[in-house]
A and B are shown apart, each in its own frame.
Chain A
Amino acid sequence: MFFHIVLERNMQLHPRFFGRNLRENLVSKLMKDVEGTCSGRHGFVVAITGIESVGKGLIRDGTGFVTFPVKYQCVVFRPFKGEILEAVVTLVNKMGFFAEAGPVQIFVSKHLIPDDMEFQAGDMPNYTTSDGSVKIQKECEVRLKIIGTRVDATEIFCVGTIKDDFLGVINDPAAA
């Protein structure tokens, strides 16, 4: 699920950036530092949408670096148990398959794939129904339901299922 929230961060800025572009430098550094990171609490920071406030800088003794407390608005992505996601399959093996929904990795184990789909080993490992009408292989898009999440301090990993109504392959670029 996506959230638009305000976060705060202390930015250390090198003295060479001090000047008329200080603020722009600060913001670009913030984007570089924060976007794409993941915290267990808030999830993945997808993008910074705005700066709320930049506090007074504090010069560090000895180094000359200045610390600015920056409040910024950002979009975060946090997967939840029970959530339905659309993901791209990245790896298929006999244990199941891995998929990615943006920054989140999801594993769907074999027993959470519908019973009528069989694993086919080979050059392009895939899960196929007996009549061959549905095929799950690398690069294809699936809709899945998250049934478990593991949230660490810096990463989030999910387990999903496609064994439910309206779940499964939604688009296969290889077949098209």
Chain B
Amino acid sequence: MEKSGPVQRTVVLKPFIKLVKLLARAFYDDYTTKSDNQQKSARIDNRGIAVVVLDALTRRQWVREEDLAKELQLHAKQLRKIIRHFEEQKLIMRDHRKETAKGAKMYSVAVAATTDGRAEDKVKLHTHSYCCLDYPQIYDIVRIKVHRIKKKLKDELEDNNTVQEYVCPNCQRKYNALDALRLISMEDDSFHCENCNGELVVECNKLTSEELVDGDDNARRRRREKLKDMLQKMEVQLKPLMDQINRVKDLPVPEFGSLQAWEARATIAARENGELGPNDPLRSQGGYGSTPMPFLGETKVEVNLGEGKEDVKSKGGDSSLKVLPPWMIREGMNLTGEQRGEVRQEAKFEGGSGEASKLSDDKKSSMGNGDEKDLKDEYLKAYYAELLKQQELAAKLNQQESMAEVTPETQLATTSSDRQLGMKSKREEEDEEDVEWEEEAPASANGNYKVDLNVEAEASGGEEEEDDVDWEEG
């Protein structure tokens, strides 16, 4: 459960843990789970419990609340209350999941088989809650908390931009200065309540309410002094926290992601390390149900969803249509491009592997390379090496070759015609590309092909001229 190794990669957790610990001691030191009226009767003082919980959470990642309660020897309800408080404070991520306790399920099935009634409530899924510290959010929360405290104190110190509030002593109804126009009465120059016509009094600031009785000068001065004092004290007391915030500022924030994502990552990491036995704590914590079910299909499915996606995709392209080895390709076979192994290369382009750049660099050699990798046949390697030489020599005559390929006689020409065919299919596309990219290539070619292209070129040229004329006219 406390395995932080596999999930943590480069981010350093330490400073953030320290931040959380400081935060806990600064703001949640005197947090009690008891409400005020209970506290008088409560004999045990459980202040500081929140600090204990937060500290425990810094040593864990996602944890089931029941487990945490057990380890902290707290009552589950008590812990849940604290955790809910922290959730409201946005320090903690929570996740609730309905899970079957497998044993209970089987038991309930058995019960249903033997007796007719009362089976339904036994099948009930148990909701388990998980929680985890939300470090990125904690960082923001701490900062805004401190900022808000400072701003409140400063504003009150300077009485800045505060709309004065008034309260009716009789009916406790509250007004503010924006209501002033409605509240002035004709008889005297004070504000009166709309309900009971009682005279309103200025509501004093909550922070220093006990001192400010009637807002006279003396009290105001004392209040200011107190505020100043508070501000100074705060600066001093929060200094370690602020220092830690500044230290953490430029560090990458540890992020565990949602429960599902975290589980997926943790399981994969564990599997890579070969650690995931059936009794592995990760499994028992992350999987469905408290009892480990190593042969349960569903857990595996969930895991595969997480990260294996890309692999599945790229392999799927291959497996859907098998690439025929070149020696199997005979003349007259009606093959798709995929079967000739063309897609395979595209997939590699998509994958962005190292050879992709090579492929784009020089087409001819890359063609050779790609095929070499596909075919493990030594003989073919030698053949391609030779072919490459030939190609380099006959680089200018590319077009002729392609023409020759089109004519039926060359298809039967060599003894290893079958293999050459496999090559040809690739060469054809290569030549097509040449035609597209280099307009000079067709010029060197001969035969009807060349004529076609020239005609096209001329036609296009003519069109251009016509376009020019049009423009001039327009």
Contacts and interface: CB of A to CB of B under 8 A. Distances in A.
Interface of A: 91-96, 98, 105, 107, 109-112, 115, 125, 147-150, 157, 159, 161, 163
Contact of B161 (A93, A94, A147): A147
A128 to B, nearest CB: 14
Interface stretch (B174-182, B311-319, B449-457): B174-182
Contacts of A107: 177-178, 180-181
Contacts of B460: none
Nearest to A164: B160
Nearest to B188: A93
B178 A148 contact: yes
6 contacts: A93-B189, A95-B184, A96-B164, A110-B202, A147-B161, A159-B178
Interface string B134-163: 000000000000000000000000010111
Contacts of A157: 178, 180-181
B321 to A, nearest CB: 65
Nearest to A114: B159
A148 B181 CA distance: 14
Given A109-B177, A111-B164, A112-B164, A91 B184 contact: yes
The 8 closest A-B pairs by CB, nearest first: A93-B189, A109-B164, A107-B180, A150-B178, A159-B177, A148-B163, A147-B161, A109-B177
Given A109-B164, A112-B164, A115-B220, A94 B189 contact: yes
Given A107-B177, A125-B189, A150-B178, A159 B163 contact: yes
Nearest to B205: A111
B159 A111 contact: yes
B384 interface: no
A125 B190 CA distance: 13
A147 B190 CA distance: 22
Contacts of A110: 164, 202, 215
Q: Main SS of chain B's interface residues?
A: mixed
B16 interface: no
A98 B217 contact: no
A95 B176 CA distance: 12
Contacts of B162: 111-112, 147
A147 B217 CA distance: 23
Contacts of A115: 217, 220
Given A91-B184, A111-B164, A115-B217, A148 B177 contact: yes
B contact residues, range: 10 to 19
Contacts of B159: 111-112, 163
Given A111-B202, A111-B215, A115-B217, A159 B189 contact: no
Contacts of B163: 147-148, 159
B62 interface: no
B256 interface: no
Contact of B189 (A95, A109, A112, A147): A95
Given A94-B189, A94-B190, A157-B180, 15 more contacts: A92-B189, A93-B190, A95-B180, A95-B184, A96-B180, A107-B178, A109-B177, A147-B161, A148-B177, A157-B178, A157-B181, A159-B163, A159-B178, A159-B180, A161-B161
A93 B184 contact: yes
Contacts of B164: 96, 109-112, 159
Contact of A105 (B179, B181, B202, B217): B181
B130 interface: no
Contacts of A98: 180-181, 184
B181 to A, nearest CB: 6
**Residue of B162, B177, B190 contacting most chain A CB atoms (<10 Å):** B177
Interface in B193-215: 202, 215
Contacts of A92: 189
A81 to B, nearest CB: 9
A115 B218 CA distance: 11
B222 to A, nearest CB: 13
Nearest to B224: A115
Contacts of A163: 159
Contacts of B215: 110-111
Contacts of B189: 92-95, 125
A157 B180 CA distance: 9
A96 B176 CA distance: 13
A98 B190 CA distance: 13
A92 B184 CA distance: 11
A123 B190 CA distance: 16
A109 B178 CA distance: 10
B191 to A, nearest CB: 6
Nearest to A81: B161
B195 to A, nearest CB: 18
Contacts of B176: 159
A153 B226 CA distance: 42
A105 B177 CA distance: 12
Nearest to A108: B177
Contacts of A149: 178
Contacts of B177: 96, 107, 109, 148, 159
A161 B177 CA distance: 11
Contacts of B178: 107, 148-150, 157, 159
B223 to A, nearest CB: 11
Nearest to B178: A150
Contacts of B190: 93-95
